[in-house]
Amino acid sequence: MKPARWLLLLATLLLIGAGRPWHWNLPLGEAPPPSPVGNAMSAAKVELGRRLFYDADLSANGTLSCAGCHEQHRGFADGNRTRPGVHGDPGLRNVPGLANVAWLPRLTMADPAITSLEAQVAVPLLGEHPVEMGMKGLEAELPRRLGADACYRRMFARAFPDRRGRIDIATVSAALAAFERTLISRDSPYDRDRRGQADALSMSARQGAHLFADKGCASCHAGRDFSDGAYHRLEPATATDPGLAEKTGLTSDAGRFRTPPLRNVAVTGPWWHDGSAQTLDAAILRHGQQLTDAERIAITAFLDSLTDQALLTDPRFAMPDEACGKKL
């Protein structure tokens, strides 16, 4: 076959692979999360993003991947109060879970400007306060490291034919964002109860759901993912972490943090913006509500009913075993 025809055939095959649509596995009637213009979902993009999510080569010294802080069995949270960065810099805030992150209007605890998953990637990857993955100033390392792998070159070409398979911060961010949009949690006992499944909730969890509403918890933990996306102050600000004030410069914003979503909250501890609540019960108490022991137990049972075992165990979200037909 002549070289020109071979190149044309290769380009056609890449376009076909890249164009294979992503199949959303959602409950009947549920609309998929939005994707921004310029980063449409595709199977090739999600596959690439999944591999990148588990690849420690995205960090300065090759020791920390996204999954190193976002563990599937913990609802894609961490389990530590805060997580040190690749150079040992102490973490500033507790690692949040990623369930249903595609629907969140704001994606960090205290920066209202970050509203897209693509933009959020820069926080751990390039951030300096604190340093997490430590790639600031090493942006050229990504195409060098990833481009040295023939399989990665093939995966980027399939995922981004419109960008000629370019490997850089923008395409890495776009692929990671595509994978993160698939981390959907809609099969907890709470969800099954809402869909009419008998006995999906225990009596204690059902009582806790009523208390959660009656005690005003739902005024901030609102909506399907239990967050109003707004910033609130529950305790006095500290010098260690000024919260929203770090971005706005307003004294009135000191100590204000975004309401955390509660999907899979029972497995994402420790809790609070700094991970200082070691138990879910302690986190409930710090909200200042006057609750009896029985009421706290019931609310905790309700929060436990938000745990989606399917998300925590689905092999499609785990570290891939192979890429390009070969074992990793």
pLDDT in tens, 55-84: 999 999 999 999 999 999 999 999 999 999
Residue 16 pLDDT level (bands cut at 50, 70, 90):
very low
Residue 255 identity? G
* Residues 96 and 63 reside in one and the same domain: yes
* Residues 264 and 282 reside in one and the same domain: yes
pLDDT at residue 54, as a whole number: 98
Number of domains making up the chain? 2
Q: 269 with 71: CB under 8 angstroms?
A: no
* Residues 170 and 201 reside in one and the same domain: no
Structure tokens at 296: 């706290």
pLDDT at residue 257, as a whole number: 98
* Residues 151 and 221 reside in one and the same domain: no
| CATH code of the domain covering residue 71 | 1.10.760.10
* Residues 302 and 173 reside in one and the same domain: no
* Residues 174 and 211 reside in one and the same domain: no
User: Where do the DSSP E strands lie in the chain?
Assistant: 231-232, 257-258, 322-323, 326-327
Assess if residue 84 is contained within a domain. yes
The annotated binding site is made up of 66, 69-70, 217, 220-221
Cα–Cα dist 102/33, whole Å? 6
Q: Which residue has the higher pLDDT, 187 or 29?
A: 187
* Residues 64 and 148 reside in one and the same domain: yes
* Residues 115 and 221 reside in one and the same domain: no
* Residues 159 and 63 reside in one and the same domain: yes
Phi and psi at residue 77, to the nearest 5°: -110, -155
* Residues 179 and 222 reside in one and the same domain: no
Cα–Cα dist 81/95, whole Å? 8
Assess if residue 316 is contained within a domain. no
* Residues 220 and 136 reside in one and the same domain: no
Domain range enclosing 110: 43-184
The annotated binding site for heme c is made up of 66, 69-70, 217, 220-221
Residue 14 pLDDT level (bands cut at 50, 70, 90):
very low
Cα–Cα dist 6/314, whole Å? 39
Report the chain's mean pLDDT, rounded to a whole number.
94
Assess if residue 97 is contained within a domain. yes
Among 151, 184, 217, the domain-final residue is: 184
pLDDT at residue 20, as a whole number: 81
SS3 33: coil
Q: How many Cα atoms are found within 13 Å in the side-chain-facing hemisphere of 130?
A: 17
Residue 19 pLDDT level (bands cut at 50, 70, 90):
low
Assess if residue 95 is contained within a domain. yes
Q: How many Cα atoms are found within 13 Å in the side-chain-facing hemisphere of 12?
A: 6
Which tens digits make up the pLDDT trace of 221-279? 999 999 999 999 999 999 999 999 999 999 999 999 999 999 999 999 999 999 999 99
Residue 2 pLDDT level (bands cut at 50, 70, 90):
low
Q: 189 with 302: CB under 8 angstroms?
A: no
Structure tokens at 194: 């809402």
* Residues 59 and 179 reside in one and the same domain: yes
SS3 161: helix
